[in-house]
Amino acid sequence: MDIKNIDETSFTVVDVETTGLSARNERIIEIALVRVENLKIVDKFSTLINPQRPIPSFISMFTGITNSDVKDAPLFHQIFPVILEKTENSVLCGHNLQFDLSFLRNEVQLLGDDFNPIHTLCTLKLARKLFPHLKSRSLGPLAYHLNIKAKNSHRALGDAETTAKVLIKLIKHLKENENIETLEQLLAYQSGMKTFQSLKIKKELQNDFYSLPNAPGIYYFLNSRNEIIYIGKAKSLRERVKSYFSSNADSRVRKIIRQAKRLHHLITNSELTALLAEAESIKVQNPEHNKMLKGYGNKYFIKVLKTKSAPHLDITNKFDFDGCDYFGLYHSKRDAQKIVEFINKTFAIRECDDREFLKSRPCFLFDIQRCTAPCIGLESNLTKHNEELEEVYRFLNGENQHAMNRLLNKMKFFSEQQMYEKAAEIKHLIDFLMEEIHKSSLLSEPINKAKVLIEIISPIGNDYLVLFDGKVFIKGYLYDNKNKFEEILDDFYSNTIQTEILPSEEDLEKLKIVLQWLIKNRNRVKVFYLKDYRNRQELFNKLSNSDFSEEKIIQIKSDPIYDFNI
């Protein structure tokens, strides 16, 4: 960061209007940007945006923006270049900025990109520190308190202009009353972070911090003997390390800063490769202050017990090559249980344990058509069970339309028979299918059999990794000196795979880290099944085609679309 005088700093105030309050589920319908230079408003920009979904009536009443207003408005990806241009070389500002920024980040992530301004400033945070006794510090009351006339409230440009005027007055107040003259001091005041001068930070460490990029990667704190004392990872190196200099940092962090003389970093293409590099670097270096390495062992799989004559489902946090198939990853046992409960209520497969199964007589689940009774030993019953199990596989692989059709037919039947409680139960299952199941189905193969190349879209550079029978191979990985990524692809297409080498515990831990991240960040992920390509060159041609920015926009991975016309 340059030690820049506030009067020489450019600020861009942003305000968005949206279809709702959840950045993950809603979209932007209007955006405004107001540029402030030399503590004066110098430029304004605003536009409506087509959210590609209906605007709720209460939002139209609140903002005055209707569906007809946005019908012919540009899509977000069409105005994103303008946003980048307008915010370039400036501090991004807003009132309750986290709200606006969360929507912007979500929109940009849907394009397979990232939006991480180098510096951000929130007038709400400043107001809370400056006016702690003010009853309300929302934009309207705050503007009134500062003798600013708010115009066109609840429209993006009106609110952005008001916020810009508030910003100017707050900065002037801070200059006069808090002796804040530089951008560093202003940002430190906002976050409660102490300046380097007050913290007595070593000059080398200050310079290392200023060199940090706003990019994913891993960082190393080193002591005066050039020993690594702490390793961390970050989605944004600058933002993460900045928190170490906060006035409310815990005692462990303060101890690291006292001992540290230098700060080194390594940029990675994505947060995932930063996660993996951090975990492996800690194991290799064993730094003094990395005592607690985050564990991933409490994640769960759904296991299909294929070793049984009539396979059924189980939940496990273990992963093995035991002849069974594994699906997941699920963040908690309850998440996995909900999927299994859904499967048992939707498909007629065995639910009983071995003791009950060996009694060789149908149970009440057969009477209510929730099981085909493979226990009685008849070939026809076992065949029906296996057919149901095939449907379960399709469902776990993400092919959910058949399950939807089955449920809709059941609900229709119960409604026609005036069995409304039963129909309501089916409706709950349909709601679950719509809301939950897409969160975990990433691959159309069991994890233990998956042979896929995964492309992770990142603005710095895409990451590529191969999942192969429980092992993970990453292109250009920090700890891959033998170029195993290229090797596994060569072996696959030349049919020289050594199938007897099973994944180690380290491989399985790495697999869990990868699966957890991929499921959370599915909008940035493209999956290529190795079997779909005749050779490596054909696969690489597909990858090179996917690097064009236009294709990134149109190849967004979306949630399943269901046909309700049964």
Per residue in 176-208, is it b (16+ CB within 10 Å) or e — as a string? eeeebebbbbbbbbbbebbebeebebbeebbeb
Q: How far, in Å, CA of 479 to CA of 481, rounded?
A: 6
Active-site annotation holder among 145, 154, 289, 438: 154
Give the bridge partners for 187, in sequence order: none
Closest CA to 555 of 521, 524, 532: 524
DSSP three-state, residue 171: helix
User: How is 221-265 classified by DSSP, letter by letter?
Assistant: EE-TTS-EEEEEEESSHHHHHHGGGBTT--HHHHHHHHH--EEEE
How many residues does the structure list for the chain? Answer: 566
Closest CA to 297 of 446, 441, 511: 511
Q: How far, in Å, CA of 558 to CA of 4, rounded?
A: 43
User: For residue 198, which amino acid is it?
Assistant: S
Cα dihedral 335, 340, 345, 351, rounded to 10, equals: -150
Q: What is the spatial order of strands in the sheet that 471-474 belongs to?
A: 471-474, 463-468, 451-456, 525-529
Run of H or E residues at 158:
helix 156-178
Q: Active site includes 385?
A: no
Beta carbons of 220 and 43 less than 8 angstroms apart = no
DSSP three-state, residue 471: strand
Q: How far, in Å, CA of 173 to CA of 180, rounded?
A: 9
Give the bridge partners for 455, in sequence order: 464, 526
Beta carbons of 466 and 488 less than 8 angstroms apart = yes
Q: How far, in Å, CA of 11 to CA of 33, rounded?
A: 10
**CA 487 to each of CA 236, 276, 471, 475, 514: distance values in angstroms, whole numbers, following the listed order:** 32, 20, 13, 10, 20
Beta carbons of 323 and 306 less than 8 angstroms apart = yes
Q: DSSP 3-state helix, strand, coil percentages of the chain (rounded to 5)?
A: 45, 15, 35
Q: Count how many Cα atoms sit within 13 Å of the Cα of residue 346 in the half-sphere of its side chain.
A: 30
CA angle centred on 450, ends 447 and 454, rounded to 5°: 105
Closest CA to 265 of 224, 227, 208, 205: 208
Q: How far, in Å, CA of 442 to CA of 526, rounded?
A: 10
- Rounded CA Rg of the chain: 28
Provide the annotated active-site residues.
Answer: 154
